[in-house]
Amino acid sequence: MAKLNKLERQRRLKEKLADNPFLVDKELAELFKVSIQTIRLDRKELGIPEVRKRTKSVAQNAYSKVKSVQSGEIIGELIHIELNKSGLSILETVNEMGLEKSNIVRGHHIFAQANSLAAAIIDTDVALTGAAEVRYDRPVSVGERLVAQAKVTDKKENKFHIKVETKIKDEVIFAGEFVIFAVEDEVSGKEEK
Amino acid sequence: MAKLNKLERQRRLKEKLADNPFLVDKELAELFKVSIQTIRLDRKELGIPEVRKRTKSVAQNAYSKVKSVQSGEIIGELIHIELNKSGLSILETVNEMGLEKSNIVRGHHIFAQANSLAAAIIDTDVALTGAAEVRYDRPVSVGERLVAQAKVTDKKENKFHIKVETKIKDEVIFAGEFVIFAVEDEVSGKEEK
């Protein structure tokens, strides 16, 4: 994006955050090719709180809705959830997730965020993954921030199809289709043997 | 399997272990519906060492062959590897991998074993997962032992297709197809940003 004058930048900043309230100042600064300080000033002038404030309240009641897994079992921070419909989580990638040699985040962490989010949005005692088809669009470096969005695209009886898209800033870096079965406790008990 | 007389059982025991040397006494006992002690006696009489001895030597030089990842980055214990051809790893599932509510192992751990094994067998500096298609055949309970086998099924330039099958005893519980790209360090460096 070319450097913009202040008014134009603030207009687009508002648009961006309306579209994706989870962008942090650092990401916005890179997006608009300005300093983080400039973004902070812009937010002040526009009366937009910082990202944690923007998302905190949403996040709190998101966890309270989850039935199928314990909140600690969700990889990443659950930000938003609408049972049997959609959900959103954010994963801050850290060194432990990266390959020593290259600092590239190992694929299964990106999968885990998507899979645990897909399971979390299902309104059931136990959500069992039946199948998954995933695509990695580019390597993710340690430190990059992954925003995963899940949507239920189909539901037949206890069988859910869930589409998950994971982005860094506005770039899709991972996409997956999960088939998840909703089972009640006693049923899963049987299946466990 | 119906209960067998001793000779018949020992004959089949030999067959089973020739076919899959990674079966532990507990699994063999369940398979043959006899006590673990009986299996131990059978092995003694047949001169078959216990599983760790059977697999230790293989395991040791397996790690030494891996190039694309650090051994600690492989989920499960790497038992066998033939670069650009095949590999085998064993994952003992523990409580931390299970859903609190149901003791069912979360799918992404099973995925992680398969994905890290698929990457480990590639003869390259950095192995990047491009896509995966996986199937879970039944829930896995904490404590069950996962034996994953990976085979390179296709290779075009730096693009590998790898099939992974994960079994508990003789039962396939997970199958996956991974597309993995072999990149040299400097290339992945570029791709990282």
Q: Which two tokens stand for residue A48?
A: 């937009």
- Closest CB to B192: pick one of A73, A104, A192: A104
**CB < 8 Å to A133, chain B:** 131-134
Give A29-33's long-range contacts (Cβ < 8 A, gap of 24+).
A30/A169, A31/A1, A31/A169, A31/A170, A32/A1, A32/A3, A32/A4, A33/A1, A33/A2, A33/A3
The pLDDT tens digits for B13-63 are 988 887 777 788 998 999 999 999 999 999 999 888 888 777 665 666 677
pLDDT at B49: 85
pLDDT at site A1: 59
Query: From CA B6, how far away is CA A179, in angstroms rounded?
Result: 45
- Residue ranges of alpha helices (H) inside chain B are 6-19, 25-32, 36-46, 51-65, 107-120, 185-192
Find chain A residues with C-beta within 8 A of B135's C-beta: 130-131
Its ipTM equals: 0.72
pLDDT at A94 over 60: yes
Choice among A86-95, B74-83, B104-113 with the minimum mean pLDDT: B74-83
Cα dihedral sign, A35-A39-A40-A44: positive
User: Between A73 and A158, whose confidence is greater?
Assistant: A158
B115: left (phi over 0), alpha (psi -120 to 50) or beta: alpha
Q: Give the up-direction half-sphere exposure of residue A72: CA atoms within 13 A in the CB hemisphere.
A: 6
Residue A73: predicted pLDDT: 77
CB–CB contact B102 A126 (8 Å): yes
Q: Tens digit of pLDDT for each residue in A5-59?
A: 889 999 999 888 877 777 889 989 999 999 999 999 999 998 888 887 776 656 6
Question: What is the overall mean pLDDT for chain A?
Answer: 86
Query: What pLDDT, on the 0 to 100 scale, is given for residue A60?
Result: 64
Q: A6-48 is classed in which CATH architecture?
A: Orthogonal Bundle (1.10)
Query: For chain A, which residues make up each domain, given as ranges?
Result: 6-48, 60-188
Long-range contacts of residues A72-78, Cβ cutoff 8 Å, at least 24 apart: A73/A116, A73/B99, A73/B100, A73/B106, A74/A116, A74/A117, A74/A120, A75/A109, A75/A112, A75/A113, A75/A115, A75/A116, A75/A117, A75/B108, A76/A113, A76/A116, A76/A117, A76/A146, A76/A148, A78/A117, A78/A120
C-beta atoms of A129 and B135 within 8 A: no
> What average pLDDT does range A174-189 have in this prediction?
79
Residue whose tokens read 């998302």? A55
Interface test with B, best of A70, A93, A99 (most B CBs within 10 A): A99
The CA distance from A105 to B129, in Å, is 11
Please, which pLDDT band fits residue B130 given cuts at 50, 70 and 90?
A: very high
The answer to whether the predicted template modeling score (pTM) of the entire model surpasses 0.80 is: no
Residue of A nearest to B112 (CA): A108
Tokens in use for A87? 């959900």
Give CATH for domain B60-188. 3.10.129.10
Per-residue pLDDT for B187 more than 50?
no
pLDDT, greater one: B172 or A68: B172
Amino acid letter, A54: R
**A13, A42 Cβ separation under 8 angstroms:** yes
- In this prediction, residues A103-130 reach a mean pLDDT of 93
- A106 interfacial to chain B (CB closer than 8 Å): yes
